[in-house]
Structure 1
């Protein structure tokens, strides 16, 4: 077989199990010296296990063979850290669908997960080259290699013969192999962030002698926070900065350095990164500006920064960021430009904006809330919100996650992570940036062609609480951080103001909550009255809003203490409008700093109710079964893929595939057990009559062009004979013009509700399924709901019920109840099609008539695109590259 070109798309940056990074790429002939050096560092045992005998050195012939591969039948991938090769894995094809696999990992890097991640990548390349099985001969004592192969999650067989264990791996991805990959990714990315947020020592590079400089500001904030490890200022000339001994370079520091904060001019950052790599620094926080935010030159500099840092095993926060903070008493890290950092708390906070981050931290501190950790990612060249989600999921000090997002880099991965994490820890998001302005390279603007409500729907599917602004975010956070989730929508109101209680009751109704009659204790009520009333009301409701707004100063401390006593261990959320204070006042805290059971306070009862409504909806989402994509009968994915690829190939005309290709959707949908109601395009009245005879009476005559069909009066219904068809044909031709294309279709034999089902393949989100009713008003108002494919039955049920006009499907407003279950099954099948075939860039089923006993697809249109390849979140583990997403 002819050798293929160097497959650059196989290159990837990966996170290892200890949180460090490595670069994976195909081997090249120029790697000969690198291979010799790698081999010289191997132990005798590692060489023995690989070659089944001693081999002190590789011959020149072996070096040439190992480094010269054809990237088809013989493939080798290497892992590099810095300039050094630390591992290699290879396969040699022995049969059309089978290859022999072997790998070697440098002893100093064994136990870091290098072999497992290389196996994932090699399996992907093998599948691309038509190989479906790996065969490996392993010595029985080589338990490490055996474990890597067994724990990959693939279907494996093994047998022992002639002193060797032969293992056979079926490379077909399984649910287990996918779970293994996701679990390893989670642990590695979580560990990489833990290393950043829990350093034992820190160097501040660029800490100048002049007060007010960026570097000295970070240094002083670290010292003021009483960081528990050593802090090393780095300055080329100064002997001391802020009273701390300074060093001329990172490499001159006489102790270990875990984290380096870089505050040097942008054109000097790369040199410092190399120094940090030489020193063995494990992570970087780059507060310097002058990178991707400045234009092409800055973006190139930013790409180089990430490339070099990852090559040497470092993760990067920034550049152009505010910094990071960790309030753990064992760490006490404030490596930010913000002098004010909230105290210890249960909330993890991620902000893309650096400048906004300072204001956010001040707001949190003013509310008396605490945080567990804070990361301002700036330009998000490397570390992103997805990385922080992986970390906070496991962090026992974090109960609630707050995200301020301006853009999305890998929304599909975000949705996958959020859907899992939200089951245990609420995620509250403010998503700004309703336009495409200032969206970083590789990050997703709002879904093309879809309204912002699409993003809200996708957040809802993942259990993410989306709020409109930062004030709401903090309002919701202080409830979720300190109070339990409500078990239902019933809300009790206890207070000393009729007017405020009525406002709260109205707010409950507007938010979809169920308020109990307010209990007014009167203006003179004291601690005993509030305590007794709260105890009584809590017995019959799911949550209570307490209003304490005395007309003249009263015994506030006593009332607060009684509210804490009465609400302790009740298992239901209690909120307050306590003298108009915002946050968690000292009197409503369960300790010196707010802990679980502290009562959050709001400036007005409406704000408390609004926060409670978000908590009620989130609790309701948690109660739903998450569901899993189930097996669907009558699906032939292989046939559908052959059809799509064949159509794209034919459209190429020898010059490469066209960007968009229309395809007859009937055959494609049939592969997923879906039928399009037959229709025939006709050119004359007689052809229309003949078509009606074939299809069966009564029939419909309509405009075949979807755009023309949007015009009023383009459908003639209930035609029962030839004369009616001829008359309708003449009328439509006159109305639409002689060039109009008409079609005949058998009329649906029962009353039905028209709906619309669509799929859009988005470059970032992947396949997005939308659903709405086909009524004119619903279309004009874009009353649609959205979900990411594939859909579980629970997703489909939620999708059907999400549009405002959904009650029309359930027998309300004079419509008969229809076959909702059949509609949900159709949506699941469409979601499966969308997930299987990323080449389907657009699929419209319009209309889909939902009758009393069946669902009928009257019209369909499918568009293919060769521009869509594998999903952003599919395949082996890899880090997104600057400019290509998270």
Structure 2
């Protein structure tokens, strides 16, 4: 928060590098501030000019007689560094560096940028940029367009943050076409100092900002970002945050030894961060604006049951389809609602959802229908669709909708199809903060976003698990492997490690001979499983190193010989530690728990359907550690296969509460031991409710912390 007010609402601004030549950035930024009606005092700084646009110019910041809140620097890197030194002497509170040529171009630029940041921090100056479009505050009390976009947006209650300056200009054009207003508009460029999290904290406290939109290319903070933004999106004064993230389709998964690593592309990290922080991710600029309009109405959907009122069948059907695909349901009306509709609508009208008031509907018919459905206790909100007919009065219908909207806490979203015939009605709706769209699918998608955010705000909070772990023994197991120069644990060691963190594993022994294998198997009772144990053979099935359901000493002896032969054929150089003899796990549904470690973000946890199907179905969800019980529950319930775990077609319900506990244990394990680079527990067999879940197989990849830190 420190000094960000000086960047957004300065009493005085100096443009250092202001130019007398139209078309140059230094000229255009100065002109935009001047012509935009800035309410403070403006100073151009240029040692070679007497004046710029008839305003007296000064040779340097130090020559300006008045105090300066904000300095806009339009200078090459070395000159910008000198100007920052002068700004510190002058007592400037905030700096925006618009010009490029810093870390984005190479090592020399990075060094100068780092020097500038150090000087700003020493002087307590907040810095935006470099390499950015600038800052805009359309509030009538400020009216500052400190950017090189000559378009001053209308004032509003939505703030926009962008890493891309080029995108900002197209967003401003898009907003102007739709009469869309902003509270604050900022391009952050290289994020040398001020980043998204700083701005989110500031805008959350800003009374003019009701919704925050972000165009994001990459984050440089992980767990801290999640922790802080969760407070913003769900605290005492929740602020919805909508994000469009570049590169959704381009991100590939890492080359990895684990299923988790191969499935966890960088987009999985961002999806996890957004879900954990309560951020709503959108897919396009248009969707960003559509959703922001809905949130700016300040109404949330407490449920997902929607009523549709339309004067045309086709759009009503489209809206119905999109309602279902947006996670919503068509509300089933109460009997008294249907009676009210019958009394007000002609016999040809449809009085069940979606309500068709027929093409010749006047505003009275719309008003009566909307009033009836919005009062229904089974209805959580309404979509109103109007297509222009010869007898349709869009303006009066809009006024009727406004009247009803003021009497209800439920959201009403509108779709007025057409442009010229409905423009007067659209204007009235917009003036009264009622979201209005050109197409019914946009209204349905926006309503779905309102519902998802409401579900986030009203999510259940369970008491955390009381867990105790044997961290010392776990550290010994990991260190022993590293001391021996190994980068993976054997399955035996992996089981020992997991038991330190409360996991339920199967009784097992490592046999060094055929006779030991038979004796161990007899002590466990049949049937048993045999698996090759070798640091060089991680994917045991690929090496035909697993034999299951062995029911006699003879089968165990034969399987032992076959496994050793297969392993030597698969990798003649592999060190064979022995053969693991393991009790067959009791029946259960197969799931996978996993982790892969990312720079900046740390451990990324995975949960999903397991066994051989994990790579085929890819029905998995991710979260960034640490997680607690509540996030673990959302993970378990977040996969498509959750219905299978609940019990279907005669299959018993499984012990999903034990999965939640083990996910939290996994989070603790990988945070306590940063040497664990990748981990798969696959499959874990989850048994009937109350009977827990058993680790059937695990794979744990290590990396010394020093090596990991420099990789």
State the TM-score, normalizing by the size of structure 1.
0.70
Alpha-carbon distance between aligned partners in 2 of 1:447 and 1:377, rounded to the nearest angstrom = 32
Q: 1:754 aligns with which of 585, 590, 612?
A: 590
Q: 1:239-258 residue pairs with structure 2 within 5 A?
A: 239-258=50-69
Of 781-790 and 378-387, more deviation after overlay is shown by 781-790
Alpha-carbon distance between aligned partners in 1 of 2:538 and 2:470, rounded to the nearest angstrom = 32
Q: 1:116-127 residue pairs with structure 2 within 5 A?
A: none
Alpha-carbon distance between aligned partners in 1 of 2:391 and 2:100, rounded to the nearest angstrom = 50
Q: Which residue of the partner structure matches residue 670 of structure 1?
A: 499
Please give the root-mean-square deviation of Cα atoms over the aligned residues, in Å: 2.9
Alpha-carbon distance between aligned partners in 2 of 1:275 and 1:191, rounded to the nearest angstrom = 20
Of 811-820 and 480-489, more deviation after overlay is shown by 811-820
Q: 1:862 aligns with which of 689, 697, 700?
A: 700
Alpha-carbon distance between aligned partners in 1 of 2:569 and 2:35, rounded to the nearest angstrom = 82
1:743 aligns with 2:580: yes
Return closer, same or farther for 1:868/1:770 CA change in 2, 3 Å cut-off. Answer: farther
1:357 aligns with 2:191: no
1:765 aligns with 2:609: no
Q: 1:777-816 residue pairs with structure 2 within 5 A?
A: 777-813=613-649, 815-816=651-652
CA contact (8 A) 1:483 1:572 kept: no
Return closer, same or farther for 1:729/1:448 CA change in 2, 3 Å cut-off. Answer: closer
Residue aligned with 2:700, SS: strand
Q: Which residue of the partner structure matches residue 399 of structure 2?
A: 561
Return closer, same or farther for 1:712/1:503 CA change in 2, 3 Å cut-off. Answer: farther
Alpha-carbon distance between aligned partners in 2 of 1:581 and 1:406, rounded to the nearest angstrom = 34
Q: Which residue of the partner structure matches residue 676 of structure 2?
A: 840
Q: 1:81-96 residue pairs with structure 2 within 5 A?
A: none
CA contact (8 A) 2:290 2:442 kept: yes
Q: Which residue of the partner structure matches residue 694 of structure 1?
A: 523
CA contact (8 A) 2:514 2:557 kept: yes
Q: 1:408-419 residue pairs with structure 2 within 5 A?
A: 408-419=219-230
Residue aligned with 1:612, SS: helix
Q: Which residue of the partner structure matches residue 347 of structure 2?
A: none
Q: Which residue of the partner structure matches residue 216 of structure 2?
A: 405
Q: 2:435 aligns with which of 569, 575, 600?
A: 600
Return closer, same or farther for 1:435/1:279 CA change in 2, 3 Å cut-off. Answer: farther
Q: 1:620 aligns with which of 455, 462, 477?
A: 455
Per-residue deviation, residues 465-490 of structure 1 (Å, max 9, x unmatched)? 01111111111111001141101111
1:611 aligns with 2:442: no
Q: 1:428 aligns with which of 213, 219, 242?
A: 242
Per-residue deviation, residues 611-642 of structure 1 (Å, max 9, x unmatched)? 211221121121113557x3524324455456
1:331 aligns with 2:142: yes
Q: 1:428-447 residue pairs with structure 2 within 5 A?
A: 428-434=242-248
Return closer, same or farther for 1:300/1:581 CA change in 2, 3 Å cut-off. Answer: farther
Q: 1:455-494 residue pairs with structure 2 within 5 A?
A: 455-494=270-309
Q: 1:580-595 residue pairs with structure 2 within 5 A?
A: 580=418, 587-588=425-426
1:709 aligns with 2:545: no
CA contact (8 A) 1:325 1:374 kept: yes
| Aligned-pair CA distance for 1:197 | 1.1
Q: Which residue of the partner structure matches residue 535 of structure 1?
A: 371
CA contact (8 A) 1:755 1:846 kept: yes
Alpha-carbon distance between aligned partners in 1 of 2:483 and 2:530, rounded to the nearest angstrom = 33
Residue aligned with 1:760, SS: strand
Return closer, same or farther for 1:565/1:314 CA change in 2, 3 Å cut-off. Answer: same
Residue aligned with 1:769, SS: strand
Structure 2 gaps, min length 5: 252-259, 332-352
Alpha-carbon distance between aligned partners in 2 of 1:318 and 1:417, rounded to the nearest angstrom = 22
| Aligned-pair CA distance for 1:500 | 0.5
Q: Which residue of the partner structure matches residue 142 of structure 1?
A: none
1:718 aligns with 2:549: yes
Alpha-carbon distance between aligned partners in 1 of 2:681 and 2:18, rounded to the nearest angstrom = 62
Residue aligned with 1:833, SS: helix
Q: 1:729 aligns with which of 544, 560, 572?
A: 560
Q: Which residue of the partner structure matches residue 196 of structure 1?
A: 7
| Aligned-pair CA distance for 1:770 | 0.7
Q: 1:571 aligns with which of 409, 415, 419?
A: 409
| Aligned-pair CA distance for 1:559 | 1.2
CA contact (8 A) 2:465 2:661 kept: no
CA contact (8 A) 1:483 1:599 kept: no
Alpha-carbon distance between aligned partners in 2 of 1:734 and 1:649, rounded to the nearest angstrom = 28
Q: 1:851 aligns with which of 673, 687, 692?
A: 687
Per-residue deviation, residues 257-287 of structure 1 (Å, max 9, x unmatched)? 0100011233311111111111111111111
Q: Which residue of the partner structure matches residue 8 of structure 1?
A: none
Return closer, same or farther for 1:285/1:626 CA change in 2, 3 Å cut-off. Answer: farther
Q: 1:629-640 residue pairs with structure 2 within 5 A?
A: 630=464, 632-637=466-471, 640=474
Q: 1:5-404 residue pairs with structure 2 within 5 A?
A: 190-404=1-215
Return closer, same or farther for 1:272/1:459 CA change in 2, 3 Å cut-off. Answer: same
CA contact (8 A) 2:269 2:624 kept: no
Alpha-carbon distance between aligned partners in 1 of 2:59 and 2:563, rounded to the nearest angstrom = 85
Alpha-carbon distance between aligned partners in 2 of 1:869 and 1:622, rounded to the nearest angstrom = 41
Alpha-carbon distance between aligned partners in 1 of 2:476 and 2:2, rounded to the nearest angstrom = 42
Alpha-carbon distance between aligned partners in 2 of 1:305 and 1:784, rounded to the nearest angstrom = 44
Alpha-carbon distance between aligned partners in 2 of 1:844 and 1:306, rounded to the nearest angstrom = 42
Per-residue deviation, residues 111-141 of structure 1 (Å, max 9, x unmatched)? xxxxxxxxxxxxxxxxxxxxxxxxxxxxxxx
Alpha-carbon distance between aligned partners in 2 of 1:252 and 1:357, rounded to the nearest angstrom = 34
Residue aligned with 1:325, SS: strand
Return closer, same or farther for 1:192/1:412 CA change in 2, 3 Å cut-off. Answer: farther
Alpha-carbon distance between aligned partners in 1 of 2:621 and 2:330, rounded to the nearest angstrom = 28
| Aligned-pair CA distance for 1:449 | 6.0
| Aligned-pair CA distance for 1:242 | 1.2
| Aligned-pair CA distance for 1:719 | 2.0
| Aligned-pair CA distance for 1:293 | 2.2
Alpha-carbon distance between aligned partners in 2 of 1:495 and 1:519, rounded to the nearest angstrom = 6
Per-residue deviation, residues 719-749 of structure 1 (Å, max 9, x unmatched)? 221122223335545666556764321012x
Return closer, same or farther for 1:747/1:640 CA change in 2, 3 Å cut-off. Answer: closer
CA contact (8 A) 2:594 2:681 kept: yes
Q: Which residue of the partner structure matches residue 68 of structure 1?
A: none
Q: Which residue of the partner structure matches residue 342 of structure 2?
A: none
Alpha-carbon distance between aligned partners in 1 of 2:203 and 2:300, rounded to the nearest angstrom = 19
Alpha-carbon distance between aligned partners in 1 of 2:442 and 2:270, rounded to the nearest angstrom = 24
Alpha-carbon distance between aligned partners in 2 of 1:520 and 1:490, rounded to the nearest angstrom = 18
Alpha-carbon distance between aligned partners in 2 of 1:777 and 1:304, rounded to the nearest angstrom = 52
Q: Which residue of the partner structure matches residue 149 of structure 1?
A: none
CA contact (8 A) 2:156 2:180 kept: yes
The count of aligned residue pairs is: 663
Alpha-carbon distance between aligned partners in 2 of 1:350 and 1:375, rounded to the nearest angstrom = 5
Alpha-carbon distance between aligned partners in 1 of 2:94 and 2:424, rounded to the nearest angstrom = 37
CA contact (8 A) 1:665 1:862 kept: yes
Return closer, same or farther for 1:260/1:454 CA change in 2, 3 Å cut-off. Answer: closer
| Aligned-pair CA distance for 1:848 | 1.0
Alpha-carbon distance between aligned partners in 2 of 1:804 and 1:711, rounded to the nearest angstrom = 28
| Aligned-pair CA distance for 1:303 | 2.0
CA contact (8 A) 2:505 2:694 kept: yes
State the TM-score, normalizing by the size of structure 2.
0.87
